[in-house]
């Protein structure tokens, strides 16, 4: 590692950094890193000064509303917009024919159109758009659009989609409505089960739920004075929105500017490209006036892209001393009506199974099927929350069967730092053991587990998550995050970065890291972010990538600036640059602080010597070890780890579950701002308790009559049950800081991972409380009460779970990929060198 006094590698190397950078100067101690601080955007958010997309208004703005399908699956046989066009204030009515070019967030599933073409695929699919002088007029005019539909038989459950009668929801390789089916064998799992002393199997179901960000999506589009189009939108991924809007509107990307407004929460729900964004962009371009749309809460529920409902079959083999011998996981994902991130979700439903405990052989079969429901996509913990629930509940069962403490069982099978897993994931650092030991101690686990009175229980579970997807969505070799710095004579440093603040603290990380290198308080750094005209590309706020990737880029840019400034100051003071320290907004020799100068003066010296000061930094992760087809989903520069203990109180008369307290310990590598990091832990617990006990994004039909109807049951904040303040447990947070060599100053993610273990911990605690196993969530009072009644009538081993996992899921033959310890090289046996990340033109644009 560098001495902080020499220019660090990242400052001198020409290309993007590929490993973690940043060292706290031991001569001064930290300026921002690790110091609990008020977030840089906190004041504006607390006082209401932050401008969200819906706060934006331009003179002569027109307003847009979308007409959405009332049928789950139908063919549009005619649209008559004439009456709507004649209504007061209406400027334009659009239908699908104005939007012939398909788009989609993944290159492999460009299956969306801004307005439906021939088919509507779920209740809520946008069919037409009205642009009018006022929002009321636009809304009123929707009633003037007459659409004729031929209703088609709808597909409601994934297992109904293998063999279908009507037209498939999308033309794919199939069969039926299957979107994606994959299978991998990392070693011979049957051999593993043959070696096992105990083989446990179970069926699980994780119900669908949605993000419920407080801010409803809004978009404003306008031409600037030069006729170029600007789109302000509540998006997590301005870069992808840029790319796809340009595609869908057949325009040069350079003529389009996307500005990501601060998101009032995202959680994955604003990472797709949405119909309304494309529609208002086109309308503004065509009509020459600003056009705005703000979705209703119901429309946000319909846009969805939330947690996939997944049915799972999990088979695990162990030796009697608690070592895993093999794991076979089958998943069946209900994808809803569109592709979205679904191919990635399909892989994620298995790929992180191996990163916590040592799994010597692993088979994984996954299948995503389209149904006539709002499309599913990425939600906090993308695709990994559901299988982790199954895995951690099953481990609780296994611990009981083996007569082991659940914490000890897990500690005994942990994967080791530096390991490469059966499916070729590199694990640079693992603090999970410390996490488990900490919560066991803090929660007094040993004295409470299996020892609480009936109705009260305690449960434990663990998890892991990516710190950034190792590969970009669009395979290329470009940096995945970049930062530009401008050093002003006033001493002001402006950081430009495409990263997007969605509430997670992206701005704070950027300011803190730039400030850390330059000895400036985070609050003094000015930020320009998420603007495709002004900022270099960052791929977006998804996959928990921002702190690590943007952070490394920011440190590189700041170190380059620091080197230039130090060079000039050293010359002026006739000292060696390595003796200079940057601290307290000053630059001075470490051994003689009095001869130093203000940071502003130092910048002036730098500018005098080198010309205008501006530096860049960029980051691209190292290529993954996995080189088999499909191995691109799962690799990450590093992984965070979490352990949680939940205390529950079951009311045996009603089935209500309250969660008085949760202990959560997270391996974050290093907490750049412990205040925000702890906030993410509490937020993760909040969302997890909701998902465990109530949140449910589900459809219902028109029973008892009119069964052709099929729509989202509860699209409102009153009916979509989620925790209120009074339902929120007390949360005891614990940050494990064992710096990871891949992250900036050793930091790893904390935004997504901490949600995951809390859900199985609650299920395990309920078992401890009342002896009822839950193999599905949400765990609702009616299900629990029915189970308690069955138990009271003498039923043994009461398991509340789904019907048996279907046997006819059309999985392909498994791809045979030998694990590292079986002499593999990261490729599939018999396959050529399949190297994602280097691009593969043959696959481009093909539907999977």
Partner 1 sequence: MMRLPVLSHFTPKTLDEAIALASELPSARFVAGGTDLLPKLKRRQLGASALISLTRCEELQTIKRLDDGGWRIGAGVKLVELVRLPELRSSHPAIWQAASQVASPPIRSSGTVGGNLCVDPRCFWFDQTAPWREAAGQCMKIDPAVVCRVAPNSPRCWAVSSTDLAPAMGAARAKVRIVGPAGERTVPLPELYRDDGIDYMTLSHGEVIVDVEIPGSVGWRSAFWKIRRRQSIDFALLSASVEVFMLTDEVLEARVGLGAVGSCPLFPPEVAAVLVGTKLEDDVIEAAAAAAKKLARPMETSDMPSSWRRRVLPVAVKWALREVRGDDVTDARRRYGPQVLLP
Binding positions for partner 1, rule: CB under 8 A:
68-71, 123, 135-136, 139, 216, 294, 296, 298, 649, 651, 653-656, 658, 694, 702, 704-706, 709, 711-713, 715-716, 718-719, 721, 723-727, 780-782, 785
Identity of the residue, 394 or 780, whose beta carbon is nearer to partner 1 in the bound complex: 780
Identity of the residue, 705 or 813, whose beta carbon is nearer to partner 1 in the bound complex: 705
The Cα–Cα gap between 143 and 250 comes to 30
Q: Tell me the closest approach of the beta carbon of residue 152 to partner 1, in angstroms.
A: 15
Q: Tell me the closest approach of the beta carbon of residue 303 to partner 1, in angstroms.
A: 14
Angle at 494 between CA 497 and CA 672, to 5 degrees: 65
Identity of the residue, 71 or 542, whose beta carbon is nearer to partner 1 in the bound complex: 71
Q: Tell me the closest approach of the beta carbon of residue 205 to partner 1, in angstroms.
A: 18
Identity of the residue, 149 or 186, whose beta carbon is nearer to partner 1 in the bound complex: 149
Report the 3 state secondary structure along 14-42. CCCECCCCCCCCCCCCCCCCCCCCCCCCH
Q: Are 341 and 272 in contact (CB under 8 A)?
A: yes
Angle at 627 between CA 621 and CA 630, to 5 degrees: 95
Q: Are 307 and 209 in contact (CB under 8 A)?
A: yes
The Cα–Cα gap between 353 and 747 comes to 23
Q: Tell me the closest approach of the beta carbon of residue 711 to partner 1, in angstroms.
A: 5
Identity of the residue, 610 or 661, whose beta carbon is nearer to partner 1 in the bound complex: 661
Q: Tell me the closest approach of the beta carbon of residue 402 to partner 1, in angstroms.
A: 34
Identity of the residue, 13 or 654, whose beta carbon is nearer to partner 1 in the bound complex: 654
Q: Tell me the closest approach of the beta carbon of residue 159 to partner 1, in angstroms.
A: 24
Altogether, the residues listed in the chain come to a count of: 848
The Cα–Cα gap between 336 and 158 comes to 9
Return the structure tokens found at 784: 């629990």
Q: Tell me the closest approach of the beta carbon of residue 655 to partner 1, in angstroms.
A: 7
Identity of the residue, 126 or 596, whose beta carbon is nearer to partner 1 in the bound complex: 126
Backbone phi and psi for residue 386, each to the nearest 5 degrees, phi listed first: -70, -55
Identity of the residue, 643 or 694, whose beta carbon is nearer to partner 1 in the bound complex: 694
Identity of the residue, 494 or 785, whose beta carbon is nearer to partner 1 in the bound complex: 785
Identity of the residue, 725 or 841, whose beta carbon is nearer to partner 1 in the bound complex: 725
User: Beta strand 493-497 with 586-589: parallel, antiparallel or unpaired?
Assistant: unpaired
Return the structure tokens found at 312: 């799972």
For residue 325, give the 3-state DSSP assignment. Answer: strand
The Cα–Cα gap between 650 and 787 comes to 12
For 347-384, letters b (16+ CB in 10 Å) and e give bbbbbbbbbbbebbbbbbbbbbbbbbbbbbbbbbbbbb
Q: Tell me the closest approach of the beta carbon of residue 746 to partner 1, in angstroms.
A: 40
HSE-CB of 618 using CA atoms within 13 angstroms:
16
The Cα–Cα gap between 321 and 164 comes to 47
Identity of the residue, 233 or 780, whose beta carbon is nearer to partner 1 in the bound complex: 780
Q: Tell me the closest approach of the beta carbon of residue 649 to partner 1, in angstroms.
A: 7
Q: Tell me the closest approach of the beta carbon of residue 63 to partner 1, in angstroms.
A: 11
Question: Where do we find the tokens 């709002």?
Answer: 374
Question: Where do we find the tokens 């996959």?
Answer: 543
User: Beta strand 776-777 with 198-206: parallel, antiparallel or unpaired?
Assistant: parallel
Question: Where do we find the tokens 């299948």?
Answer: 367
CA 757 and chain centroid, separation: 16
Q: Tell me the closest approach of the beta carbon of residue 709 to partner 1, in angstroms.
A: 5
Identity of the residue, 88 or 288, whose beta carbon is nearer to partner 1 in the bound complex: 88
Return the structure tokens found at 65: 């509303």
The Cα–Cα gap between 34 and 25 comes to 13
Q: Tell me the closest approach of the beta carbon of residue 296 to partner 1, in angstroms.
A: 5
Q: What is the CA radius of gyration of the chain?
A: 27
Return the structure tokens found at 541: 């706020």
Q: Tell me the closest approach of the beta carbon of residue 318 to partner 1, in angstroms.
A: 37
Identity of the residue, 534 or 728, whose beta carbon is nearer to partner 1 in the bound complex: 728
Strand partners, 258: 231
The Cα–Cα gap between 432 and 434 comes to 5
Identity of the residue, 680 or 696, whose beta carbon is nearer to partner 1 in the bound complex: 696
Identity of the residue, 271 or 696, whose beta carbon is nearer to partner 1 in the bound complex: 696
Q: Tell me the closest approach of the beta carbon of residue 723 to partner 1, in angstroms.
A: 7
Strand partners, 333: 310, 368
Q: Tell me the closest approach of the beta carbon of residue 661 to partner 1, in angstroms.
A: 13
Closest CA to 533 of 178, 232, 176: 232
Closest CA to 687 of 261, 266, 340, 237: 266
Q: Please name the residues in contact with 703: beta carbons below 8 A apart, sequence gap of 6 or more.
A: none
């Amino acid at each position: 590692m560098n001495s902080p006094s020499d220019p660090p590698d990242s400052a001198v190397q020409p290309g993007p950094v590929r490993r973690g950078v940043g060292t706290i100067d031991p001569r001064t101690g930290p300026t921002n890193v690790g110091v609990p601080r008020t977030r840089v955007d906190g004041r504006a958010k607390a006082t209401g000064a932050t401008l969200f997309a819906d706060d934006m208004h331009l003179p002569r703005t027109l307003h847009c509303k979308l007409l959405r399908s009332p049928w789950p699956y139908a063919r549009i046989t005619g649209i008559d917009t004439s009456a709507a066009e004649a209504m007061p204030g209406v400027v334009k009515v659009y239908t699908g024919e104005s939007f012939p070019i398909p788009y989609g967030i993944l290159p492999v599933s460009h299956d969306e159109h801004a307005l439906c073409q021939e088919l509507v695929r779920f209740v809520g699919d946008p069919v037409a758009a009205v642009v009018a002088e006022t929002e009321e007029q636009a809304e009123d005019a929707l009633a003037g659009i007459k659409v004729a539909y031929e209703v088609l038989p709808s597909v409601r459950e994934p297992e109904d989609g293998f063999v279908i009668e009507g037209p498939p929801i999308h033309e794919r390789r199939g069969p039926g409505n299957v979107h994606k089916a994959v299978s991998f064998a990392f070693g011979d799992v049957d051999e593993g089960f043959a070696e096992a002393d105990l083989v446990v199997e179970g069926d699980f179901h994780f119900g669908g739920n949605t993000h419920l960000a407080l801010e409803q999506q809004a978009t404003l589009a306008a031409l600037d004075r030069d006729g170029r189009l600007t789109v302000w939108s509540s998006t997590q991924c301005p870069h992808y929105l840029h790319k796809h809007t340009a595609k869908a509107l057949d325009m040069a990307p350079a003529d389009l500017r996307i500005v990501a407004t601060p998101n009032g929460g995202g959680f994955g729900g604003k990472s797709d490209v949405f119909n309304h964004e494309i529609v208002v962009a086109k309308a503004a371009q065509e009509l020459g006036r600003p056009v705005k749309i703000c979705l209703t809460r119901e429309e946000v529920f319909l846009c969805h892209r939330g947690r996939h409902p997944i049915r799972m079959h999990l088979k695990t083999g162990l030796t009697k001393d608690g070592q895993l011998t093999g794991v076979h996981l089958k998943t069946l994902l209900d994808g809803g009506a569109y592709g979205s991130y679904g191919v990635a979700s399909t892989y994620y439903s298995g790929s992180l199974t191996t990163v916590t405990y040592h799994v010597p052989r692993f088979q994984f079969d996954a299948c995503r099927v389209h149904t006539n429901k709002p499309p599913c996509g990425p939600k906090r913990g993308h695709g990994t929350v559901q299988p982790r629930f199954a895995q951690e509940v099953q481990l609780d069962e296994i611990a009981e069967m083996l007569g082991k403490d659940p914490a000890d069982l897990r500690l005994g099978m942990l994967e080791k730092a530096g390991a490469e897993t059966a499916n070729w994931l590199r694990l640079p650092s693992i603090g999970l053991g410390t996490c488990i030991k900490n919560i066991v101690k803090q929660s007094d686990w040993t004295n409470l587990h299996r020892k609480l009175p009936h109705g009260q229980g305690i449960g434990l579970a663990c998890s892991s998550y990516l710190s950034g997807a190792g590969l970009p969505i669009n395979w290329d070799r470009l940096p995945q995050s970049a930062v530009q710095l401008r050093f002003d004579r006033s001493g002001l440093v402006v950081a430009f970065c495409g990263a997007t603040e969605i509430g997670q603290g992206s701005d704070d990380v950027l300011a803190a890291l730039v400030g850390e290198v330059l000895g400036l308080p985070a609050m003094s750094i000015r930020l320009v972010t998420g603007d495709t005209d002004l900022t270099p590309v960052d791929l977006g706020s998804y996959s928990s990538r921002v702190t690590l990737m943007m952070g490394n880029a920011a440190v590189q840019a700041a170190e380059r600036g620091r080197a230039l400034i130090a060079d000039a100051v050293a010359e002026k003071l006739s000292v060696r640059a390595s003796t200079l320290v940057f601290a307290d907004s000053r630059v001075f020799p470490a051994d003689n602080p009095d001869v130093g100068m203000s940071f502003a003066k130092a910048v002036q010296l730098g500018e005098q010597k080198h010309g205008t000061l501006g530096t860049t930094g960029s980051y691209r992760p190292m290529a993954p070890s996995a080189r088999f087809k499909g191995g691109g989903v799962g690799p990450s520069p590093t992984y965070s780890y979490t352990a949680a203990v939940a205390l529950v109180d079951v009311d045996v008369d009603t089935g209500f579950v309250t969660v008085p307290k949760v202990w959560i310990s997270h391996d974050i590598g290093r907490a750049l701002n412990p205040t925000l990091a702890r906030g993410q832990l509490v937020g993760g617990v909040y969302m997890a308790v909701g998902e465990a006990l109530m949140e449910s994004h589900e459809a219902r039909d028109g029973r008892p009559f009119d069964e052709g109807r099929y729509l989202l049951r509860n699209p409102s904040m009153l009916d979509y049950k989620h925790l209120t303040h009074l339902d929120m447990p007390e949360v005891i947070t614990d940050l494990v800081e064992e710096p990871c060599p891949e992250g900036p100053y050793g930091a790893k993610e904390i935004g997504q991972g901490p949600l995951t273990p809390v859900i199985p911990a609650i299920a395990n605690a309920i078992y401890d409380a009342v002896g009822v196993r839950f193999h599905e969530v949400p765990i609702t009072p009616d299900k629990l009460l029915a189970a308690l009644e069955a138990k009271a009538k003498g039923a043994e081993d009461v398991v509340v779970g789904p019907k048996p996992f279907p046997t006819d899921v059309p999985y392909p033959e498994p791809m045979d990929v030998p694990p590292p310890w079986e002499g593999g090289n990261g490729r599939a046996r018999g396959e050529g060198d399949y190297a994602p990340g280097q691009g593969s033109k043959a696959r481009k644009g093909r539907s999977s």
